[in-house]
C-alpha cells in the first residue's frame, strides 16, 4: 500500500514559520476551520492542512483527548477535528488521522483532475517522464532481487518530483511492493528524524510491524537533539525495522524535501544505503535544486553518496515544448491539441515547469481568460497570460530579503531582459563593479538570479521571476530604463537589431524602433526565422511614418505572412494588389497578382491561372521586367503540375527569354529546370533522365556560384536570400534527390546528405521539404520512429502539411490499425488541394488501405492520374493492378494491365508497372517460374523506391506461389517481410501478417531479439492456458465478441480475460498484446 502524508500537488512555501505555527495553534484550538487556512480557497487544501491535522491529533492525544474550549464557527459540515483528507477511495490517508476521526471530505478535483467554478486546474497524468519512470522501474527490479537501491532526485520547485514519485509508487504497489512516504517540512526542520519516525509510525498503524518491534527501537526523541551515544542504536534499529518489512515484499521508502531535513535525518539517509544494500529496499530522496546554496548541509551528503557510489542521482529537467502542449491538452481536457500560439506563449512563460503551467492556466480561468462551455474551454485561441498569485508571492518573499540598492539594480536587469550582461547592467545602473558583484551575489543567494554559461552574463532563474520583479516598476520608470538601455546598446555597436527594436519600441522612440524592426526582420528572414520576421514587419508597418512607402511595407509583410501561413499570405497579397490598383501603380499590382498566383499554384487553387494571367496582362505593356519573368515562371509551373506539356513549354520559353534579358540569373536557372521537367513529362529515355539530372546538378552549382544580386525593381521581399532557405536551392535539391530516387540510383543518399548539410547551414531543417523526404526514406528503411521525429518538426500550415500528415497516417495505421490514421486522413481530405495534390493523397491513402487489406478502397481512388506517366503514377498503377487481382475483378485487371503497358519503354522505376503485369499474366499462363522472377524484381524496386506496403504485398504474393513449390523459400520470404515490420514496431500489421500466415499454415518466424543469448524474455508463466488462447486471438485482431464466439464463452468473460492479460503483462492496449505475441513466436490457437 502507498502512504502519502502530503498534498498530491506541491506548491512553493509561501508563509513564514511563525505564521504556520499560528495556523497550527488556531486549528488545534478550534479558532478557524481548515478551509479557512488559505482564505477559503478549496484548491489549497493539501499538504499543509494534512500536517496540521496530524499534529493536532497527536497533541489532542497528549492532552487526554479533550476537545478545544474556544468557540468556533465551522465552515464544513463536520469540525476540523473529524476530517479525513484524501481523494475518494484514498484509504491510506486514514493512517494519518487515526481511528475514530473519519469523515468524508471530497477532494476538490474531479476524476480527471479538473473541476468547474473555483476548482483548480490540474493535469491528471504524468507527462514527459517516461525515461525517469523506466530508471525507477529498473531500481525496483534490482531491489526485488535483493539488491538494495538508493536514488536522490533533484529539480526546481514545481518541476514534478512529487508527481513522478506518486506515479512510480502506484506502479510499485501494482507490483505487490510496499511504499512508505515521509517528508521534511520547513516548519519541522529542527525536529530530529521527523520523516523517518513518521514512516515508522505509519508502518505500525498499518500493521507492517508489531507495536513491540517499534518500541524496541531506541527511545524516540520528543524534541531537541539526539544524544550522540544513542544514534548508532537508533539508526540500526530503524534499518532493521525496514529490513523486516522488506522480507515479505519489496519496500520503497521515500523521503521528500531533503533540503529541509534536519542533521539527524541527513545522517540516517547517508547511513541506510550502506546497511540495506542486501535488502529488498529502495530508498528515494527528493530535494529542490533551487534551495541549495553553497553551504547547504545537504551538499556534503550528496557528495558523500556519490563518492561512495552508494546512490544514483537524477535531476528532473523542465518539460520541452511538446510535453508542455500535452500538459495543456490533458489539463483542459481538450479534444485536440491546443493552438500552436497558445502552446508557444505558455511554454515561453513557464519554461516547461508543470506547476507553473497549471498555475498560469488556473489564473487565466480565475480572471475569465479561460472559460468552460459545454465541456470545451474558450480562450485557448487568444493567449492572454497573467502572473499567478502563488508564483508572485513566492518571488516577493525572496525579493523582499534584498537591500533597496539591490532591488533597484535587479529592476533594471529585469528591464534589460531574461538574460543580461554584467557590463551593460553596470553602465546603465551607474554602479561600480564591486558593488554590482555584491548585488548579484545576494540575488543568487536569494535564488532569483543564476550565473549564465556565457562569460560575463547572468539570467533570472525563471521567466516568471523576472516578470514578478518587473511588476514592481511603474510604466514611466520602465520607459525611462528602456530608453537608457537602448541608447547604451546602440552606442556599444554590439547589440543586434532585435534588442534595439525591443528597447526603442518600449521607450516610445518611433523612428529608431522602426529602423530596428526592419533590420530585425531582414536578419530573421536570412536565418529562416519566419515568424519573428513577420512579427517585426507587422510592428514596422504600425510604426511607419507619413514619408515611408506604405505599399512597399505592406508587400513585404504580405510575403512574410506567406512564409508563415500561405493562406494568410494569399489574402494579404490580394489586398496589396487592390491597393496598388487604386494607387495606379501597375508594376506593383502586377507583382502582387503574380505572388497571389504563385501561392495558389502551390495550394492547388483553380484561381491560380486567372491571377497569373492577370499579372502578365498588367506587366507585358511595361516591357521586360523581373516581375514579368516571375509571373511567367509560375505560370509555367502551373502547366507542369496539370500535365499540360505544350502550353507549358511555350510559356516557359517566353519567361526564360525575359529573365535572361533583364539579367535575372537565378530566375533563368529555375525556368531551365522547369522546362527540363516539362521535356521529360510523357517522354522517357536514358538520355532524357540523364539530361534532367545534369540540369538539376548544374542549377545547384550555378546558384552557389552567383554573387548576391543587386536590388531589382521588385516591391516585395521576395524569396529572401538567394542561397537561403526560401531560395531556389530548396527546390533544386528536392528535384535532384527525386530524380536519383526514380532511377533507383545509389547517389540519392549522397544528395540527401548534401541537402541536409545545406539546410543546417541556412538554419532551416525543413528547407524544400527536406524533413518529408527524410521521413519517406526512414519509412523505406523501416525506421518509423525516425520518420515520426521528422514529421513532428515539419511546418503545420496548409498544403505544406499534407505530406507529413499522410506519412504519419501510414505509420499509425501500421502500428495501431487504420482507425488510428482516420483523424489525419480526414484532416487532409478537408483541405482544398490542386488536382495533382489530391491524386497524391489518393495514392498515399491507397498504401494505407493496402495494409488493411481493403482492396475495394484502393480501386475506388487509386490516384493514378491519366495526365501523367511519372514514377509515382506507376506505383499507383502497380497497386491498383495488385488490388484488382485480389478482388477478382477481371475487367479492372484487364484495364490496369492496359494502363501498365504505357510504362513499358520507361527507363526509370515506372517500367516495373509493365513488368508486374507480365508477371500476373505469366501466372495465368502457368509459367510460375518466370512470374516469381518478375515479382521479385518488382518487389525489390518498390523497396528501393521506399514503398513498403506494395513491396510487402508483392512478397506475400511470392510466398503464395512458393508455398507448394518451395516451402523453405516461402518461409524465407515471409521471414524477410516479418523482420522489416518488426523493426518498424508495427504491432497491428504484424498481427494481420500472423493471421495471414496461420490461415495458410505457414510457420511464423521467431523474433531473433527474443531468442538472443543474454536477453530477458517477457514473462508468460503467469498467464493461464485460457489467457494464452485469448492473447493469440487478440493478436489475430479479433474483437471480444469474436473471441467469445471462437472459445464458446460469454463476451463479458472474454473482456475479463483481456483485462487480466493487460494487467499481468503491464500493457495498456490490445496492440501491445499483439506485438508481444508476434515477438514470442507462439503456436496458433486451435479451436476445433
116: Cα separation from own chain's centroid? 28
Report how far residue 633's alpha carbon sits from residue 669's, in angstroms, rounded to the nearest whole number. Answer: 11
Most confident of 110-114, 230-234, 1013-1017: 230-234
Q: What element of type H or E holds 541? A: helix 530-543
Report how far residue 212's alpha carbon sits from residue 199's, in angstroms, rounded to the nearest whole number. Answer: 16
Write down the pLDDT at residue 41: 31
With bands split at pLDDT 50, 70 and 90, how would you rate the model's confidence at 414? very high
Q: Quick count: other Cβ atoms within 10 Å of Cβ 633?
A: 26
Beta-strand relationship, 376-378 and 251-256: unpaired
Contact indicator for 487, 505 with CB cutoff of 8 Å: no
Residue 951 has pLDDT above 60, yes or no: yes
- Per the model's pLDDT, the better-predicted residue between 124 and 779 turns out to be 779
Residue 23 has pLDDT above 60, yes or no: no
**592: its cell numbers:** 502582387
Q: How far is CA 793 from CA 338, 524, 720, in A?
A: 17, 19, 22
Write down the pLDDT at residue 800: 64
Among 219-223, 548-552, 974-978, name the one with the lowest average pLDDT: 219-223
Angle between helix 1025-1035 and helix 1051-1065 axes, rounded to 10 deg:
90
Q: Buried b vs exposed e over 563-598: b needs ≥16 C-beta within 10 Å?
A: bbbbbbbbbbbbebbebbbeeebebbbbbbbbbbbb
Average pLDDT over residues 33-55: 37
Sorted by where each starts, the structural domains of the chain and their CATH numbers stand as 2-97 (no CATH), 130-315 (3.40.50.300), 321-378 (no CATH), 402-495 (1.10.10.10), 798-999 (1.25.40), 1020-1080 (1.10.10.10)
Q: Which residues contact 234 (CB under 8 A, 6 or more apart)?
A: 193, 217, 218, 226
Write down the pLDDT at residue 779: 94
Write down the pLDDT at residue 876: 93
Report how far residue 767's alpha carbon sits from residue 529's, in angstroms, rounded to the nearest whole number. Answer: 12
> What 3-state DSSP class applies to 644?
coil
> What 3-state DSSP class applies to 448?
coil
Strand arrangement, sheet containing 149-155: 2-3, 178-183, 251-256, 281-288, 149-155, 312-315
Average pLDDT over residues 1049-1054: 78
Among 328-337, 717-726, 902-911, name the one with the lowest average pLDDT: 717-726
Report how far residue 441's alpha carbon sits from residue 426's, in angstroms, rounded to the nearest whole number. Answer: 14
Write down the pLDDT at residue 640: 87
Write down the pLDDT at residue 308: 80
Report how far residue 353's alpha carbon sits from residue 319's, in angstroms, rounded to the nearest whole number. Answer: 6
Report how far residue 626's alpha carbon sits from residue 916's, in angstroms, rounded to the nearest whole number. Answer: 48
- Give 598-621 pLDDT, tens digit per residue: 998 877 778 899 999 999 999 999
Write down the pLDDT at residue 921: 94
- Give 113-129 pLDDT, tens digit per residue: 333 344 667 888 899 88
Tell me what the pLDDT averaged over the chain comes to: 79
Report how far residue 54's alpha carbon sits from residue 183's, in angstroms, rounded to the nearest whole number. Answer: 13
- Per the model's pLDDT, the better-predicted residue between 1087 and 863 turns out to be 863
Beta-strand relationship, 376-378 and 371-373: antiparallel
Residue 326 has pLDDT above 50, yes or no: yes
Average pLDDT over residues 870-883: 92
The DSSP string of 713-756 is S--S-TTSSTTSTTSTHHHHHHHHHHHHHHTT-THHHHHHHHHH
> What 3-state DSSP class applies to 121?
strand
> What 3-state DSSP class applies to 151?
strand
Average pLDDT over residues 561-590: 92
pTM to 2 decimals?
0.60
**74: its cell numbers:** 465551522
- Per the model's pLDDT, the better-predicted residue between 1029 and 413 turns out to be 413
**145: its cell numbers:** 532481487
Report how far residue 485's alpha carbon sits from residue 72's, in angstroms, rounded to the nearest whole number. Answer: 57
Report how far residue 567's alpha carbon sits from residue 797's, in angstroms, rounded to the nearest whole number. Answer: 9
With bands split at pLDDT 50, 70 and 90, how would you rate the model's confidence at 375? low
With bands split at pLDDT 50, 70 and 90, how would you rate the model's confidence at 1016? very low
361: Cα separation from own chain's centroid? 19
- Give 532-541 pLDDT, tens digit per residue: 889 999 999 9
Report how far residue 983's alpha carbon sits from residue 781's, in angstroms, rounded to the nearest whole number. Answer: 9
With bands split at pLDDT 50, 70 and 90, how would you rate the model's confidence at 215? low
Q: Which residues contact 550 (CB under 8 A, 6 or more apart)?
A: 541, 544
Nearest to 834 by CA among 644, 556, 1026: 644
Write down the pLDDT at residue 681: 60
Nearest to 60 by CA among 19, 101, 105, 5: 101
- Give 237-274 pLDDT, tens digit per residue: 888 889 889 988 999 999 998 988 888 888 889 899 98
Write down the pLDDT at residue 791: 87
Contact indicator for 810, 802 with CB cutoff of 8 Å: no
Q: Is the dihedral of CA 345, 348, 350, 351 positive or negative?
A: positive
Q: Which residues contact 919 (CB under 8 A, 6 or more apart)?
A: 930, 931, 934, 935, 938
Report how far residue 953's alpha carbon sits from residue 879's, in angstroms, rounded to the nearest whole number. Answer: 9
Amino acid at each position: 500500500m502507498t502512504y502519502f502524508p502530503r498534498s498530491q500537488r506541491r506548491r512553493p512555501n509561501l508563509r513564514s514559520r511563525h505564521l504556520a505555527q499560528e495556523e497550527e495553534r488556531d486549528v488545534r484550538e478550534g479558532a478557524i476551520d481548515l478551509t479557512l487556512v488559505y482564505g477559503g480557497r478549496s484548491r489549497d487544501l493539501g499538504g499543509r492542512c494534512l500536517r496540521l491535522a496530524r499534529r493536532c491529533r497527536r497533541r489532542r492525544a497528549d492532552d487526554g483527548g479533550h476537545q478545544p474550549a474556544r468557540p468556533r464557527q465551522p465552515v464544513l459540515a463536520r469540525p476540523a477535528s473529524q476530517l479525513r483528507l484524501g481523494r475518494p477511495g484514498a484509504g491510506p490517508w486514514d493512517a494519518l488521522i487515526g481511528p475514530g476521526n473519519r469523515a468524508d471530505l471530497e477532494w476538490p478535483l474531479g476524476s480527471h483532475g479538473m473541476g468547474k467554478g473555483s476548482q483548480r486546474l490540474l493535469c491528471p497524468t504524468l507527462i514527459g517522464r517516461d525515461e525517469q519512470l523506466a530508471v525507477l522501474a529498473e531500481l525496483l527490479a534490482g531491489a526485488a532481487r535483493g539488491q538494495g537501491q538508493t536514488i536522490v532526485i533533484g529539480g526546481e520547485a514545481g518541476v514534478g518530483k512529487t508527481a513522478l514519485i506518486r506515479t512510480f509508487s502506484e506502479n510499485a504497489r501494482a507490483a505487490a511492493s510496499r511504499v512508505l512516504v515521509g517528508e521534511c517540512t520547513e516548519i519541522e526542520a529542527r525536529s530530529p528524524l521527523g520523516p523517518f519516525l513518521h514512516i515508522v509510525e505509519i508502518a505500525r498503524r498499518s500493521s507492517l510491524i508489531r507495536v513491540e518491534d517499534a518500541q524496541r527501537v531506541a527511545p524516540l526523541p520528543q524534541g531537541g537533539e539526539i544524544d550522540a551515544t544513542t544514534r548508532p542504536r537508533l539508526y540500526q534499529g530503524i534499518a532493521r525495522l525496514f529490513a523486516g518489512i522488506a522480507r515479505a515484499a519489496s519496500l520503497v521508502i521515500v523521503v521528500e524535501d531533503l533540503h529541509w531535513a534536519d542533521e539527524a535525518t541527513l545522517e540516517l539517509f547517508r547511513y541506510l544505503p550502506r546497511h540495506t544494500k542486501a535488502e529488498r529496499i529502495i530508498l528515494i530522496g527528493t530535494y529542490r535544486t533551487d534551495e541549495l546554496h553553497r553551504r547547504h548541509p545537504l551538499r556534503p551528503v550528496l557528495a558523500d553518496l556519490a563518492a561512495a557510489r552508494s546512490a544514483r542521482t537524477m535531476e528532473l529537467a523542465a518539460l520541452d515544448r511538446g510535453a508542455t502542449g500535452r500538459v495543456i491538452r490533458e489539463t483542459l481536457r481538450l479534444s485536440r491539441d491546443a493552438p500552436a500560439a497558445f502552446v508557444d506563449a505558455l511554454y515561453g512563460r513557464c519554461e516547461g515547469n508543470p506547476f507553473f503551467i497549471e498555475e498560469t492556466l488556473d489564473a487565466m480561468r480565475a480572471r475569465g481568460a479561460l472559460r468552460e462551455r459545454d465541456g470545451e474551454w474558450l480562450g485557448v485561441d487568444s493567449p492572454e497570460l497573467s502572473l499567478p498569485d502563488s508564483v508572485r508571492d513566492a518571488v516577493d518573499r525572496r525579493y523582499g530579503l534584498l537591500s533597496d540598492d539591490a532591488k533597484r539594480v535587479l529592476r533594471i536587469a529585469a528591464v534589460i531582459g531574461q538574460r543580461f550582461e554584467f557590463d551593460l547592467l553596470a553602465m546603465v545602473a551607474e554602479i561600480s563593479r564591486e558593488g554590482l558583484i555584491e548585488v548579484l551575489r545576494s540575488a543568487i543567494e536569494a535564488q532569483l538570479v543564476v550565473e549564465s554559461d556565457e562569460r560575463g552574463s547572468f539570467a533570472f532563474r525563471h521567466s516568471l521571476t523576472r516578470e514578478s520583479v518587473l511588476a514592481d516598476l511603474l510604466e514611466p520608470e520602465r520607459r525611462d530604463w528602456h530608453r537608457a538601455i537602448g541608447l547604451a546598446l546602440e552606442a556599444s555597436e554590439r547589440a543586434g537589431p532585435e534588442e534595439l527594436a525591443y528597447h526603442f519600441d518600449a521607450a516610445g522612440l518611433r523612428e529608431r524602433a522602426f529602423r530596428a524592426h526592419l533590420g530585425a526582420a531582414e536578419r530573421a528572414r536570412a536565418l529562416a526565422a519566419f515568424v519573428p520576421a513577420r512579427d517585426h514587419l507587422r510592428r514596422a508597418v504600425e510604426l511607419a511614418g507619413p514619408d515611408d512607402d506604405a505599399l512597399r511595407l505592406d508587400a513585404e509583410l504580405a510575403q512574410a505572412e506567406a512564409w508563415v501561413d500561405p493562406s494568410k499570405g494569399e489574402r494579404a497579397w490580394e489586398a496589396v494588389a487592390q491597393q496598388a490598383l487604386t494607387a495606379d501603380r501597375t508594376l506593383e499590382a502586377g507583382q502582387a497578382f503574380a505572388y497571389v498566383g504563385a501561392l495558389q499554384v502551390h495550394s492547388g487553387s483553380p484561381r491560380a491561372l486567372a491571377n497569373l494571367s492577370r499579372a502578365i496582362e498588367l506587366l507585358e505593356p511595361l516591357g521586360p521586367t523581373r516581375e514579368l519573368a516571375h509571373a511567367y515562371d509560375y505560370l509555367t509551373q502551373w502547366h507542369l503540375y496539370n500535365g499540360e506539356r505544350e502550353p507549358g513549354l511555350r510559356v516557359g520559353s517566353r519567361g526564360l527569354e525575359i529573365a535572361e534579358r533583364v539579367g535575372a540569373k537565378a530566375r533563368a536557372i529555375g525556368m531551365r529546370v522547369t522546362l527540363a521537367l516539362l521535356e521529360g513529362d510523357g517522354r522517357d529515355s536514358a538520355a532524357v533522365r540523364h539530361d534532367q539530372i545534369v540540369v538539376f546538378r548544374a542549377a545547384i552549382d550555378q546558384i552557389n556560384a552567383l554573387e548576391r544580386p543587386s536590388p531589382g525593381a521588385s516591391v516585395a521581399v521576395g524569396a529572401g536570400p538567394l542561397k537561403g532557405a526560401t531560395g531556389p536551392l530548396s527546390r533544386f535539391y528536392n528535384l535532384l534527390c527525386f530524380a536519383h530516387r526514380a532511377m533507383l540510383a545509389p547517389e540519392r543518399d549522397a544528395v540527401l546528405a548534401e541537402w541536409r548539410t545545406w539546410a543546417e547551414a541556412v538554419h532551416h531543417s525543413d528547407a524544400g521539404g527536406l524533413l518529408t523526404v527524410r521521413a519517406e526514406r526512414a519509412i523505406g528503411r523501416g525506421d518509423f520512429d525516425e520518420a515520426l521525429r521528422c514529421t513532428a518538426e515539419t511546418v503545420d500550415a496548409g498544403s505544406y502539411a499534407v505530406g507529413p500528415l499522410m506519412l504519419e497516417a501510414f505509420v499509425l495505421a501500421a502500428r495501431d490499425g487504420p482507425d488510428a490514421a482516420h483523424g489525419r486522413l480526414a484532416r487532409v481530405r478537408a483541405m482544398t488541394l490542386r488536382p495533382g495534390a489530391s491524386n497524391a493523397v489518393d495514392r498515399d491513402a491507397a498504401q494505407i488501405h493496402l495494409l488493411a487489406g481493403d482492396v475495394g478502397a484502393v480501386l475506388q481512388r487509386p490516384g493514378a492520374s491519366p495526365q501523367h506517366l511519372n514514377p509515382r503514377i506507376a506505383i499507383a498503377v502497380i497497386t491498383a493492378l495488385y488490388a484488382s487481382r485480389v478482388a477478382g475483378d477481371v475487367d479492372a485487371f484487364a484495364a490496369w494491365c492496359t494502363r501498365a503497358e504505357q510504362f513499358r519503354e520507361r527507363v526509370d522505376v515506372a517500367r516495373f508497372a509493365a513488368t508486374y503485369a507480365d508477371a500476373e499474366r505469366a501466372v495465368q499462363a502457368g509459367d510460375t517460374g518466370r512470374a516469381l522472377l518478375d515479382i521479385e524484381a518488382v518487389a525489390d524496386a518498390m523497396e528501393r523506391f521506399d514503398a513498403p506496403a506494395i513491396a510487402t504485398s508483392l512478397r506475400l504474393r511470392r510466398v503464395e506461389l512458393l508455398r507448394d513449390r518451395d516451402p523453405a523459400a516461402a518461409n524465407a520470404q515471409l521471414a524477410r517481410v516479418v523482420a522489416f515490420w518488426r523493426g518498424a514496431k508495427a504491432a497491428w500489421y504484424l498481427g494481420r501478417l500472423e493471421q495471414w500466415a496461420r490461415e495458410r499454415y505457414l510457420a511464423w518466424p521467431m523474433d531473433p531479439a527474443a531468442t538472443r543469448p543474454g536477453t530477458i524474455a517477457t514473462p508468460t508463466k503467469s498467464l493461464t492456458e485460457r489467457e494464452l488462447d485469448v492473447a493469440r486471438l487478440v493478436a489475430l485482431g479479433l474483437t471480444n465478441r469474436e473471441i467469445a464466439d471462437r472459445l464458446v464463452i460469454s463476451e463479458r468473460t472474454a473482456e475479463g480475460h483481456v483485462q487480466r492479460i493487460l494487467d499481468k503483462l503491464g500493457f495498456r492496449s490490445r496492440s501491445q498484446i499483439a506485438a508481444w505475441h508476434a515477438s514470442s513466436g507462439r503456436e496458433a490457437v486451435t479451436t476445433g
